[in-house]
Structure 1
């Protein structure tokens, strides 16, 4: 075989390889769970998110990078081995709380690629950057939280604060990643002795809350009883006030009638009032009314010396004179 013929065969073979390469590298498929970006001489085009068979210029003019649309999970502080075991990294998870306690915090970050161009070209290792930003975010939030919140009821707020801080950092870095959620896996104390002590503190806190709730219940009960007693006292006082007012009105009406009678006949009314007053003040006294020669009335209560021997005479009117044997003198009997 001549040299010229050999060169022709090699050239035809080379051209054939190039043509075959052009045919096989000019078509590519984008799956529904994928997104693609076409790179022309190192410059990226807009992302392709629609699935199907696509055409491009053959390699090396253009090439395609495919990225998943799925949601990824970044495990921070631990790693699950293929055999199902979990390896923890205490160096990464050991953090100081706002009240100067130490906790171990594991979490998982849900994220996805939303800008393939930024993900491929704006950072050398976006996932490593996400890991570092996660560490900075959770340490900042734990550093501003109390240990009670980190271990008990404050986990949801810590997750929300960490997610917001991490999302803002990733947005500033512009690496094409969007943080969807942050979920705390384990928040615990570094050793058994500390965990036991904190458990005792937690139990005491729960007991305190129970006592406070019971005291509040007792307070509400006593307040209700006091309110009822207060209302009853006010009601009784109101009734007593009304009764006294009505009684006073009656007394005023009676006084007005007496005063009217007094205006018509002052002497008789005066004597009548005096007698009624004596009868009210001395209901059981026996009264003798005498009119001496001077015309001045005297009122002398006399006790019966011997009720079995002598019955006292009845009280006389103001114009009658009780005397003994008609001589107008009083012996004291």
Structure 2
């Protein structure tokens, strides 16, 4: 075989290989749950978000990085395995509260790739960067929280503040990641003795709150009863007030009537008043009214009839 034929055969073989490579690397598919970035000689170009079959220049001129649109979960402080078991990292989750208590805090961060170009080219490992930002955010929030809030009813507030701070950090890092949510999985004390002591304190606090609520209920009940009694007393006093006023008005009317009669007939009115007064003061007495010799003065003698004396024995009237 001549040299020319050998070269031609090699050229045709090389051309066939290039054609196969071009055919295999020219077309690519994007699923509905995916997004892609076309990279030309190492520089990011167009972002493809529409699903379907797409064309690009063959490798090595262009290549495509396909990323998911779905929501990812970052497990901080633990790692779930496929068998359902869990690996725990206590040194990662151990942190100190604002009142200087140690707690173990693990959480889940929901996140999504919102800018594929930044995700691919602004950081060498954006997932690791998100993990570090999560650690920084949760430690900052726990460090400004009291242990009571971290272990009881303050978890939702801690979650909200952690998400806000983590979102600010990721926007500052600008790696194309958006934080969708933060969920505390568990916040607990580092050992059994401390947990038992805190549980006892929590139970005592709940008992205290229960007693306070019962006392407030009793107070409100008694206040209602007292207010009812006060209203009844005021009502009776108001009734007595009205009765006294009516009585006083009646007495004034009677007195005014007597006074008018007295002005017209002073002597007769005076004598009648004296008689009425005597009847009132001496209701059981028999009263004798006598005029003096001149007839100008009346004498009132309350004389009771005396019992007759028994005769002495042996008396014959001598």
Q: When the two structures are superposed, what TM-score results if normalisation uses the length of structure 1?
A: 0.86
Q: Deviations over 1:65-109 (max 9, x none)?
A: 000111111000111233322121111111111222111111111
Distance 2:159 2:283 in 1: 91
Q: Which residue of 2 aligns with 1:139?
A: 139
Structure 1 stretches of 5 or more lacking a match?
A: 311-333
Q: Does 1:107 pair with 2:123? A: no
Q: CA deviation at 1:281?
A: 3.8
Q: Deviations over 1:28-83 (max 9, x none)?
A: 00011111111112221232111100001111111100001111110001112333
Q: When the two structures are superposed, what TM-score results if normalisation uses the length of structure 2?
A: 0.90
**Cα 1:54/1:309, change in 2 over 3 Å:** farther
Structure 2 stretches of 5 or more lacking a match?
A: 310-318
Distance 2:123 2:301 in 1: 125
Q: Which residue of 2 aligns with 1:320?
A: none
Q: Which residue of 2 aligns with 1:314?
A: none
**Cα 1:285/1:61, change in 2 over 3 Å:** farther
Distance 1:117 1:135 in 2: 25
Distance 1:29 1:100 in 2: 55
Give 1:296-315 correspondences, 5 Å limit: 296-297=297-298, 304=304, 306=306, 308-309=307-308
- Deviating more after overlay: 252-261 vs 210-219: 252-261
Q: Which residue of 1 aligns with 2:280?
A: 280
Secondary structure, counterpart of 1:181 in structure 2: strand
Distance 1:124 1:287 in 2: 131
**Cα 1:59/1:238, change in 2 over 3 Å:** same
Give 1:30-49 correspondences, 5 Å limit: 30-49=30-49
Q: Which residue of 1 aligns with 2:97?
A: 97
Distance 1:54 1:283 in 2: 129
Q: Does 1:236 pair with 2:243? A: no
Q: Does 1:190 pair with 2:190? A: yes
Q: CA deviation at 1:13?
A: 1.7
Q: CA deviation at 1:288?
A: 4.9
Q: Which residue of 2 aligns with 1:212?
A: 212
Q: Deviations over 1:162-208 (max 9, x none)?
A: 11221122122211111111111111100000011011111101111
Secondary structure, counterpart of 1:185 in structure 2: strand
Provide the aligned C-alpha RMSD in A: 2.0
**Cα 1:293/1:154, change in 2 over 3 Å:** farther
Secondary structure, counterpart of 1:190 in structure 2: coil
Distance 1:159 1:141 in 2: 9
Q: Which residue of 2 aligns with 1:249?
A: 249
**Cα 1:89/1:286, change in 2 over 3 Å:** farther
Q: Which residue of 1 aligns with 2:61?
A: 61
Q: CA deviation at 1:4?
A: 2.6
**Cα 1:47/1:282, change in 2 over 3 Å:** farther
Secondary structure, counterpart of 1:32 in structure 2: coil
